[in-house]
Amino acid sequence: QQQVKQSPQSLIVQKGGIPIINCAYENTAFDYFPWYQQFPGKGPALLIAIRPDVSEKKEGRFTISFNKSAKQFSLHIMDSQPGDSATYFCAAGGRYGGATNKLIFGTGTLLAVQP
Amino acid sequence: DTAVSQTPKYLVTQMGNDKSIKCEQNLGHDTMYWYKQDSKKFLKIMFSYNNKELIINETVPNRFSPKSPDKAHLNLHINSLELGDSAVYFCASSRNPLNSPLHFGNGTRLTVT
């Protein structure tokens, strides 16, 4: 119940394309859904996050779509650029097991944006 | 200035040795974490401290012992290293333990031979 399933494992798009990465969760106690971006040799960095009271959130070229009934959320990258090439992780967190939370990460998607 | 810094960046050692990884954050955050990233890039939490107190302790072998001398520092000591401990270990911090963004360091790549 604490898993977050992420797909696809890898993705190749052309510059300007719209890669979409999908995640699904099972635990309805999750109430915080961030996406992290990781470049080689670096730590993950927060990209954008959403809470289940909204169905969509946009920040620049990045959009999260959230479907609470299906327990799914996805990341869309508009007008993708070669500089977006990185590994993307979805995660889910929530207040369970007490007053603390821990993030459960998806398995990651390696995105390559070709020039 | 680096917000979350960890040392060393690379650590190569033999099985059976004991090693430590140090982490410091200058963000004024209350909560710090250790995450392990395996060869398949899977990220898994190991420990979390809030104001120097242990709040998350995942199913980690007791050869791993975190220590937080103050809320800006969280170190990880590993005894009797095994081949399976080879991974990248990330330190992270957050303003509080409740759904605030994690700020990760750049990782320590541990290789056990």
Q: How confident is the model at residue B21 (pLDDT cuts 50, 70, 90)?
A: very high
Give the nearest chain A residue to B9 (CA atoms). Answer: A41
Cβ atoms within 10 A of the Cβ of A107, count?
17
Q: How confident is the model at residue A1 (pLDDT cuts 50, 70, 90)?
A: low
Q: Strand ranges (DSSP E) for A53-103?
A: 56-59, 62-67, 72-77, 86-92
pLDDT at B100: 80
Q: How far apart are the CA of A15 and the nearest CA of chain B, in angstroms?
A: 25
B45 contacts in chain A (CB < 8 Å): 102-103
CB contact under 8 A, A32 and B99: yes
Render pLDDT for B46-79 as a digit per residue (tens, 0 to 9): 999 988 888 888 878 999 999 999 999 999 999 9
CB-based contact B20:B77 (threshold 8 Å): yes
Q: Which of B42, B98, B105 sits opposite A101 (nearest CB)?
A: B98
Largest CA distance in chain B: 38
With a pLDDT cut of 90, the percent of chain B lying above it is 81
At A101, list the tokens: 């939370």
pLDDT at A101: 65
